[in-house]
Amino acid sequence: MKKTIYLCLSVGFLFSNTSYSQKDETSLKTTYEKDFLIGTALGIEHIYEKDAKANQLIKREFNAITPENIMKSQIIHPEFNHYSFEASDKFVEFGQKNKMFIVGHTLVWHSQLPAFVSKINSADSLRLFMTEHIKAVAGRYAGKINSWDVVNEALEEDGTLRKSVFLNKLGEGYIKEAFDLAAKADPKAELYYNDYNIEQPAKRKGAIELIKKLQASGTKINGVGIQGHWSINSENLKDIEDAIVEFSQLGIKVAFTELDYTVLPNPWDLKGADVNQRFEENPKMNPYKESLPDSVQNRLAERYENLFKVFLKHKDKISRVTFWGVNDSHSWLNGWPIKNRTNYPLLFDRGFEPKKAYLSIMKLKSKPTN
């Protein structure tokens, strides 16, 4: 009976300014607790608990957290011999305090690197940077971080290895080195390869080959993270389902690590989530500056509902579903790939109230009462 009442009340919340009470027991994390973890990405404002509404929502709805930016090497390792651990310490403390599954993101990534890396000319120096970085960061949180995104976005769209600074200077063996270093620094943590578009056939094939090579070499890899930066204007459920099945057949866990659905037009049929891509501002690319029309709200809800139907069908294969942001105002999609846009990709609006998309996911688990 409680779930039925909750859904009715939730509809009311959509059309009022009333906020949830901390006493409410039903949430995303409790509703899906027997299926998979439900996570969110935390920004610096959330880690330091600067917004009471955001803080309440995070604790109520989610049981897994990922740092949006503060563990990326540019921030945590700004100089060769200097690390900045204050924010990441607070992040881990937040997760421990609230008994959450803590994800480290990310150890090796070609983007958002410290400025000094661009001045590294030799393979030996780059290898030293990577080695010391993983030892210092993963080692500091050994036994505290539950899972690491060890290598992030190492593949091109055709499934070949991305021609990053790591590949160019260290060769394809850098991926194995990174995983081996992470396993040594924190033997208890789960280790994942994380990327976008790896549900798509060509890139998926490349990811599968990469993982098989790691497994054949004896390297520890526990799972794959499918980022899930998608659009409501395209349909890719078959690719998603195929990816879940094919990755799980490798004997690893499948996580959806950075989930959001853009509702805005896609410039030049852009695909992927390369943070370095940028386009000029254009009013036609920002059609919902003031509010989201009901028709688009409904389409967003439908997309999430259909996606979670696939997740529930394969819940035995999925370890975690993490939304890339707490609410719409926090989403990186407001500024990518065009600045100053107003996007609505998540389950909670700018006032931290649940959207129709939230209800569409919740109702999948509700049972009719007599």
Which of the residues 153, 177, 190, 353 is marked catalytic? 153
Catalytic site residue 153?
A: yes
Cβ atoms of residues 61 and 27 within 8 Å: yes
Q: To the nearest 10°, report the CA torsion of 92, 93, 99, 102.
A: 0
User: Are residues 312 and 237 in contact, defined by beta-carbon separation less than 8 angstroms?
Assistant: no
Residue 53 φ then ψ, to 5°: -65, -45
Indicate which residue of 61, 177, 199, 258 is catalytic: 258
Could you give the CA distance from residue 69 to residue 55 in angstroms, rounded to a whole number?
A: 18
Q: Residue type at 73?
A: S
Q: CA 130 to CA 95: how far, in whole Å?
A: 26
Locate tokens 């890396």: which residue?
A: 117
Distance, CA of 182 to CA of 139 (rounded, Å): 8
86 part of the active site = no
Helices (H), the chain: 2-14, 28-31, 44-47, 52-61, 73-76, 86-97, 123-140, 165-170, 173-185, 201-216, 237-248, 294-313, 356-362
Which DSSP string corresponds to 299-337?
HHHHHHHHHHHHHHHTTTTEEEEEESSSSGGG-GGGSSS
Q: For residue 254, give the H/E element and its range.
A: strand 253-262
Contact by Cβ (8 Å): 229, 324: yes
Report the C-alpha gap between 326 and 45 in whole angstroms: 11
Give me the active site residues, please.
153, 258
